[in-house]
Amino acid sequence: MPMNIAVAGSEELISENLLELLQEKQFPVGKLFLLTALDAEDQDSIRFNNQTIYVQDLASFDWSQAELVFLVGNTDEYVAAFSAAEQNGCKIIDLRNIEHKSSLHGLSLLAQKEDLESSVHVCPDDLTVLIAHVIQPFFDETAITQLNIVALEPVSVHGKKGTEALARETAHLMNGRPLENTLFSSQLAFNILPVLGDSHLVSELQLLFPEEKLNTSVTLLQAPVFFGTTVVADIVLEDALPKEDITRILSSISNVTLSDEVLTPVTHGSNQNKVYLQLIAGELDELQTFRLLMIADPLRCGRIQNAVSLAEQLVTPVMS
């Protein structure tokens, strides 16, 4: 049975990819409501399942019309929207950025056993979803005692304002014009910037895997690319495993392709629904320490994919 769905925060870049994935998955949508805290009349309509959907005003929306809400907006208005949707009995999947999403509920990752009766499911951050998806299968074999992560993030993690800022910077510099009011702490075009704020990845991984002592260190860098996250993960296992077992584990992960190609964010991290992995481990037959190179489009493989997969589980009891 189709569900009536609201996407609260239609102005966000993430909402476009969410709607695309819902259509690709043929998710059973009854009515679709696109909501914004901005001026709804200034927002473009979209085509969804061969219908034209117009954006509505968030403040005046009747939440009793929706059964499932994807909350993606990142301003204060969406805090009130969260409460209104919850009071009207909506199921909520919270995809907001780390500083905005609800802290009163645990994190929801599809790979773990989820309480589908819960009314609120809070998605971990994109990078957390990517890392958790890859490391979780190893816990069936042994513990991970050290996890060192270096991640180069695309500007798409900042939404439309990020892609527009990089395009504007690049155009200005190519034309010999000075930068004006850049979004970033310094020039990003043709540059790499350090990013503060890695602690949320560490804390989210600990929330997802409370029994594990991961000893995680994270270095975040802002790369001058539009789409595609590049991650280098150095993993230390408690017990050495045969290399063929590590390859088997990585190859068995859903939506993951283990590849020997030259992996780049432009080729493998843009508009892709899967994660590309490369195992870097030398010639040893047994490995206790190894390196993974990971390329993924966070707009397709991060919280959105997790959210749509959660939604598919939520709709199953309705359909049965």
Q: How confident is the model at residue 159 (pLDDT cuts 50, 70, 90)?
A: confident
pLDDT of residue 29: 94
Q: How confident is the model at residue 319 (pLDDT cuts 50, 70, 90)?
A: very low
Q: Which residues have C-beta within 8 Å of that of residue 161, sequence separation ≥ 6?
A: 183
pLDDT digits (tens, 9 = 90+) for 91-118: 999 998 877 766 656 688 766 666 677 8
pLDDT of residue 38: 87
pLDDT above 80 (res 68): yes
In contact, 181 and 101? CB cutoff 8 Å: no
pLDDT digits (tens, 9 = 90+) for 179-235: 877 789 899 999 999 998 656 889 899 999 998 989 999 999 999 999 999 999 999
**Residue 110 to residues 21, 47, 208, 314, Cα–Cα distance (Å):** 16, 28, 11, 11
CATH class of 3-104: alpha beta
In contact, 92 and 119? CB cutoff 8 Å: yes
Among 3.30.460.80, 3.90.226.10, 3.30.360.10, 3.10.105.10, name the CATH number for the domain at 129-297: 3.30.360.10
pLDDT of residue 229: 96
pLDDT of residue 174: 92
Query: Any idea where the domains of the chain sit in the sequence?
Result: 3-104, 129-297
Mean pLDDT of 24-37: 93
pLDDT of residue 209: 92
CB-side exposure of 156: number of CA atoms within 13 Å? 25
pTM of the model: 0.89
pLDDT of residue 284: 82
Mean pLDDT of 286-298: 94
pLDDT above 70 (res 146): yes
pLDDT digits (tens, 9 = 90+) for 128-141: 999 999 999 999 99
Q: Which residue has the higher pLDDT, 117 or 160?
A: 160
